Structure 1
Amino acid sequence: MAPVKELAVDEAKVKKAVQSGIPLTITTYTLPHEIEAYIEKVITIFLKQIEKENLKDYIVYCVQELAVNAKKANTKRVYFMERGLDLNNPKDYKDGMDSFKEDTLTNIGHYLQLQKEKGLYIKLILQIKNNIIHIEVRNNVAITKIELIRIHDKLARSRQYDNLEDALGQVLDDAEGAGLGLVILVLMLKKIGLNEDSFDISSNEKETIARVLIPMDKVLVENFEALSASIVDNVKSLPQFPENILLVQKLIGDPKAEITNIARKISMDPAITADLLKIVNSAQYMLSKKVDSIAEAVKMMGIRGIKNLLYSYGTQQVLGEESADKKALWEHSYKTAFYAFNLVKAFHKDPNVLDDVYVGGILHDMGKILFASAHPDLMDHIRQFCTQKSLPSATFENLSAGMNHADIGALIAEKWNFPEVLVNAIRYHHDPRSAPEKYRTLVDTVYLANMFCEYENGNVTFDQFDPAVLESFGITTKNQIDSLLTRFAAGFKKENKT
Structure 2
Amino acid sequence: MSDATLSTTKIQKAVQAGVPLSITTYTLPHQMELYMAEVLTAFLKELNQDGMTEYMIYCLNELTTNAKKANTKRVYFKEKGLDINNPADYETGMSGFKNDTLENIRYYLQLQKNAGLYIKLILHHSRDKIKIEVRNNADLTPNEYKRIHDKITRAQQYSSVEEAFSSAVDATEGAGLGLIIMVLMLAKLGAGKDCLQVFCENGETISRIIVPVDKERRNEITILSKELVDAIDTLPQFPENIARINTLLNDPDFKLSDIAAYISNDIALTADLLKLVNSAAFSLANPCHKIADAVKLVGVNGIKNLLYSLGSIKSLGASTNEQRKLWDHSYRVAFYSYNLARSFYASQRAIVDDAYVCGLLHDMGKVVFDFAHPKLIEKVKQICENKALSTSLIERLASGSNHAEIGALIAQKWNFPEIIGHSIRYHHDPDGAPENVKKLVGVVYLANMLVHYGEGDIEFYQFDPEILKEFRVENEEQLKKIAERLEAAFEKENGKS
The verdict on how the C-alpha distance between 1:183 and 1:341 changes in structure 2, with shifts beyond 3 A counting, is same
Shift in CA distance, 477/271, structure 1 to aligned 2, threshold 3 Å:
same
CA contact (8 A) 2:71 2:138 kept: yes
| Change in 2 beyond 3 A, CA 1:125/1:323 | same
Write the deviation string for residues 267-322 of structure 1: whole angstroms up to 9, x where unpaired. Answer: 23332222221112112222222111122112222222222212212211221111
Return closer, same or farther for 1:254/1:24 CA change in 2, 3 Å cut-off: same
Does structure 1 retain, via aligned residues, the 8 Å contact 2:381–2:394? yes
Which residue of structure 1 lines up, in the alignment, with residue 44 of structure 2? 47
Amino acid at match of 1:258: K
Alignment CA distance shift 1:150-1:325 (3 Å): same
Matching of residue 459 in structure 1 with residue 457 in structure 2: yes
Residue 116 of structure 1: how far off its partner (Å) = 5.6
The answer to whether residue 269 in structure 2 is matched with residue 272 in structure 1 is: yes
Structure 2 gaps, min length 5: none
* Structure 2: distance between partners of 1:144 and 1:274: 67
Question: Deviations 1:69-100 (Å, cap 9, x if unpaired)?
Answer: 3445556677889979695xxxx4x3354245
Q: Give the CA deviation at 1:244.
A: 3.0
Q: Give the SS at the match of 1:9.
A: coil
Q: Residue 330 of structure 1 is aligned with which of 313, 327, 352?
A: 327
Aligned counterpart for 1:476 among listed residues 474, 477, 487: 474
* 2:269 maps to amino acid: I
Could you say if the C-alpha distance between residues 136 and 380 of structure 1 is closer, same or farther in structure 2, counting changes exceeding 3 Å? Answer: same
> Whole-Å Cα distance in 2 between the matches of residues 120 and 444 of structure 1?
34
Q: Does 1:187 align with 2:184?
A: yes
Equivalent residue pairs, number: 488
Matched, 1:261 2:258: yes
C-alpha contact 1:432 1:447 (8 A) present in aligned 2: yes
Give matches, 1:311-390, under 5 Å: 311-349=308-346, 350-374=348-372, 376-390=374-388
Structure-2-length-normalised TM-score: 0.86
The answer to which of 165-174 and 374-383 deviates more is 165-174
Structure 1 residues 15-164: aligned runs within 5 Å: 15-50=12-47, 52-72=49-69, 92=86, 94-102=87-95, 106=100, 121-130=118-127, 132-139=129-136, 150-164=147-161
- The AA in structure 2 aligned to 1:407 is E
Deviation at 1:474, TM superposition (A): 2.6
| Distance change >3 Å, CA 116–CA 230, structure 1 → 2 | same
2:411 maps to: 413
Equivalent AA in structure 1 for residue 127 of structure 2: N
Q: Is the 1:430–1:447 contact (alpha carbons within 8 Å) kept by the matching residues of 2?
A: yes
- Structure 1 Cα separation of the partners of residues 404 and 323 of structure 2: 16
Q: Distance in 1 between matches of 2:175 and 2:466?
A: 27
Give the match's secondary structure for 1:161: coil
C-alpha distance in 2, partners of 1:228/1:113? Answer: 50
Q: Deviations over 1:431-453 (max 9, x none)?
A: 22222233222222211221222
Q: Contact 1:336/1:446 (CA < 8 Å) preserved in 2?
A: yes
Deviations 1:475-498 (A, max 9, x none): 233333333222222221121126
The answer to whether 1:228 aligns with 2:221 is no
Task: Give the fraction of aligned pairs with identical amino acids, expressed as a percent.
Answer: 47
Aligned-residue offset at 1:326: 0.5
Root-mean-square deviation over aligned CA pairs: 3.2
The superposition leaves residues 91-131 of structure 1 with CA deviations (integer Å, 9 ceiling, x where unpaired) of x4x33542453566546778767766776543322234325
1:127–1:134 Cα contact (<8 Å) kept: yes
CA 1:112–1:309 in 2, change beyond 3 Å: closer, same or farther? Answer: farther
Distance in 2, Cα, partners of 1:27 & 1:51: 25
Q: Which moved more, 1:328-337 or 1:354-363?
A: 354-363
Q: Which amino acid aligns with 1:98?
A: E
Contact 1:20 1:402 in 2 (8 A): no
Partner of 2:284: 287
Inter-partner Cα distance in structure 2 for 1:44 and 1:360: 34
Cα distance in structure 2, aligned partners of 1:293 and 1:74 = 70
Residue type at the aligned position of 2:22 = T
Q: Structure 1, unaligned stretches of length 5 or more?
A: 1-5
Q: C-alpha displacement at 1:201, in angstroms?
A: 4.0
- Deviation at 1:185? 0.9
SS at match of 2:207: strand
15 and 289 in structure 1: CA distance in 2 versus 1, 3 angstrom threshold: same
Q: Distance in 1 between matches of 2:459 and 2:65?
A: 24
Helix, strand or coil at the partner of 1:285: coil
- Given that 2:82 and 2:93 are in contact with CA atoms closer than 8 Å, whether structure 1 keeps it comes out as no
Larger displacement relative to structure 2 (95-104 or 429-438)? 95-104
Identify if the C-alpha distance between structure 1 residues 379 and 171 changes in structure 2 by more than 3 Å, giving closer, same or farther: farther
Tell whether the 8 Å contact from 2:48 to 2:218 is kept in structure 1 after alignment: no
The secondary structure found in structure 2 opposite 1:441 is helix
Find the residue that maps to 2:315 and give its secondary structure: helix
Contact 1:65 1:181 in 2 (8 A): yes
- For 1:3, the equivalent position in structure 2 comes to none
User: Using the alignment, how far apart are the partners of 2:481 and 2:175 within structure 1?
Assistant: 42
Distance in 1 separating the partners of 2:196 and 2:89: 28
- Aligned equivalents of 1:110, 1:284: Cα separation in 2: 61
Equivalent pair of 1:429/1:444 in contact (CA under 8 Å): yes
Partner Cα distance (1:85, 1:419) in 2: 63
The more displaced of 438-447 and 64-73 is 64-73
Aligned to 2:394: 396
| Partner in structure 2 of residue 423 of structure 1 | 421
Distance 1:256 1:111 in 2: 80
Distance 1:228 1:54 in 2: 21
The range that moved more, 6-15 or 200-209, is: 200-209
Moved more, 304-313 or 251-260: 251-260
